[in-house]
Amino acid sequence: MVAEKILEFVGGKENIQNFTHCATRLRFNIDDEKIVKQTELSNLKEVLGVVNKGGQLQIIIGPSVEKLYHEMTQLVGVANKNIDVSIESKKETKKSNFDKVLAYISGAIQPTLAVIIGAGMINAILSVSVLLGLSKESGTYVAWSTLANVGFTFLPVFVAFSAARKMNTNEYIAAFLSLAMVFGFNQKSDLSMFGVALPNIKFANSIIPVLLMVPVLYYVDRLIMKIIPSATHFTIKPLITIIIMAPLMLFIFGPSGAFVGTLLANMCIWLMDKIGSIAMAILALLHPITVMFGMQYLFTPLMVNEVAQTGSSFLLGRALAANFAMAGAALAVGVKAKKIENKSVGFSSCVTALLSVTEPALYGCLIRLRKPLISACAAAGISGIFIGLFKVQAFAIASPNLLSMPIFIGGTSMLNFFLACGGAAIGFGMGFIITYLVGFKED
């Protein structure tokens, strides 16, 4: 049983601080990394690769990761089958500040991707339905649009909850504070506290304020626990925490997050206006590398912020170029390889990349054969030039593939969608051609 082997090779359940999963990976925070048998993990047939980055052990499984995750939760003996399973840590591992920040952002964003992608795909389907004749005034459109908008409007609440769980602080207090900001204080200009007018801040859709808030909540919670008697923790501690954190959210984290969010959105717009083709080419070329190290989710807050501020995202174009380039490179491996195993992996991972996720292609053949990875990066860069030159935008957040292409439908015409299809075709075609011409050694 592969779950038993993985648990054995990571050092047993006693060595696991917490673990979760994303679309293709099991992600572990480990107490003692020295006892992890990384080579044995990599040699498992079901494991496509192992990455240790950002203070997190990532085991690449592929689309079947969720089934394996549930098997792991049963072995670890945890009854709660939520997306993040926490186990009390016995000791604190030494990590760089960058690793800690990376692990925090990643851990806060990953569990919310189901909401982001689900709501985004509803909007994409609605865009297609409107083109096919569905009226925006119809009850069906309004109902489904409302449902999708809830996912993005209250996204800060979901992020705050998962961030608090990641920080091991009270996730319900974090969610309550975020919900209060979104529901009660969003863009209100006529409210005051302690005689001071509250800043007019857009809390809906904005996840940067809650990402700033939760670490402070952690330290405030711990400080209150030390100061007040333990007998009052259940009743007094939540009150004091809210009294301290609410003004901080309203006067500090809200304005700071709004400033940072606007700055990042304007920076993305400036990059596309001034050096769009070059910037997108570099981002697209590097995208397979960021996926290798599990760092692609660092872009998610930026893309969500783009959509919240401007209604669309330029940054998602890098994944459009790279995903189809990796699929094309995998197909070339399937066509040109002489070994049956490589042919099978090439063809099957090409289909997976076109329809869902790219890790099977990336770890199944591109990285292993090396030259196809370089070819895919080059192809992604070429496609990125096209996407950046024509300023292709995504109007919802989802991993670009054949099924999710409607996320590029928006604006006043279909031109953006056709340009996105062109960028995808260039990435796929160049990925196949460059990989086929450059070739690779199968041994």
Question: Does residue 251 share a domain with residue 190?
Answer: yes
Question: Does residue 318 share a domain with residue 247?
Answer: no
pLDDT at 91: 44
pLDDT at 168: 85
In a domain, 297, yes or no: yes
pLDDT at 77: 65
Integer Cα distance of 218 and 349 in angstroms: 42
H or E stretch at 197: strand 196-197
Question: Does residue 220 share a domain with residue 306?
Answer: no
Q: What angle do CA 418, 419, 424 make, to 5 degrees?
A: 95
pLDDT at 147: 93
**Predicted confidence (pLDDT) at residue 143 exceeds the cutoff of 80:** yes
- Which pairs count as long-range contacts for 90-99, CB under 8 Å and 24+ apart, including other chains? 90/14, 90/31, 91/31, 91/32, 93/30, 93/31, 93/32, 93/33, 93/55, 95/55, 98/54, 99/53, 99/54, 99/55
In a domain, 100, yes or no: no
In a domain, 103, yes or no: no
In a domain, 58, yes or no: yes
In a domain, 336, yes or no: yes
Paired with 50 in beta bridges are 59
Integer Cα distance of 22 and 143 in angstroms: 29
pLDDT digits over 153-163, tens only? 899 999 999 99
H or E stretch at 227: helix 208-227
pLDDT at 81: 37
Integer Cα distance of 143 and 146 in angstroms: 5
State percent of the chain over pLDDT 90.
36
Question: Does residue 415 share a domain with residue 283?
Answer: yes
**CA-to-CA dists, residue 139 to 224, 351, 409, angstroms:** 49, 37, 21
Question: Does residue 280 share a domain with residue 382?
Answer: yes
Give the number of other CB atoms < 10 A from CB of residue 30: 21
Question: Does residue 298 share a domain with residue 431?
Answer: yes
Mean pLDDT of 52-74: 79
Whichever domain contains 51, its CATH number is: 3.30.1360.60
**Predicted confidence (pLDDT) at residue 298 exceeds the cutoff of 80:** no
Contact 177, 249 (CB under 8 A): yes
pLDDT digits over 229-286, tens only? 888 888 899 999 999 999 999 999 999 988 887 787 777 778 777 777 888 999 999 9
Question: First-to-last CA distance in the chain?
Answer: 29
**Predicted confidence (pLDDT) at residue 55 exceeds the cutoff of 90:** no
Question: Does residue 340 share a domain with residue 398?
Answer: yes
Closest by Cα among 368, 276, 291 to 323: 291
Give the number of other CB atoms < 10 A from CB of residue 176: 19
In a domain, 95, yes or no: no
Question: Does residue 71 share a domain with residue 122?
Answer: no
State the residue for tokens 């496509």: 48
Count of CA atoms in the C-beta half-sphere (13 A) of 386? 19
pLDDT at 94: 54
Integer Cα distance of 39 and 155 in angstroms: 39
In a domain, 54, yes or no: yes
- At 88, the pLDDT band (50, 70, 90 cuts) reads very low
- Under 8 Å CB-to-CB from 49, ≥6 apart: which residues? 42, 59, 60, 359, 362, 363, 367
In a domain, 107, yes or no: no
Question: Does residue 296 share a domain with residue 242?
Answer: no
Integer Cα distance of 164 and 104 in angstroms: 10
Rounded to the nearest integer, the mean pLDDT of the chain is 85
Mean pLDDT of 385-401: 90
**Predicted confidence (pLDDT) at residue 83 exceeds the cutoff of 80:** no
Question: Does residue 307 share a domain with residue 254?
Answer: no
Give the number of other CB atoms < 10 A from CB of residue 10: 23
Question: Does residue 72 share a domain with residue 212?
Answer: no
**Predicted confidence (pLDDT) at residue 85 exceeds the cutoff of 60:** no
What are residue 315's phi and psi, to 5 degrees? -60, -30
- At 54, the pLDDT band (50, 70, 90 cuts) reads low
Please say which residue of 194, 229, 264 terminates a domain: 264
- Residue 198 lies in domain: 112-264
pLDDT at 430: 97
Query: Rounded to the nearest 10 degrees, what angle do helices 340-355 and 317-336 cross at?
Result: 160
How many angstroms from the chain centroid is the CA of residue 138? 33
Token pair recorded at residue 156: 């800060």
Closest by Cα among 378, 372, 385, 69 to 363: 372
Please say which residue of 235, 264, 293 terminates a domain: 264
Provide the whole-model pTM. Answer: 0.73
Paired with 313 in beta bridges are 394
- At 294, the pLDDT band (50, 70, 90 cuts) reads low
Q: Which amino acid is at 209?
A: P
Please say which residue of 211, 229, 264 terminates a domain: 264
- At 410, the pLDDT band (50, 70, 90 cuts) reads confident
Domain count, the chain: 3
pLDDT digits over 100-123, tens only? 787 788 788 878 878 888 888 888
Question: Does residue 317 share a domain with residue 232?
Answer: no
Q: Which amino acid is at 406?
A: P
Closest by Cα among 272, 384, 271, 397 to 324: 384
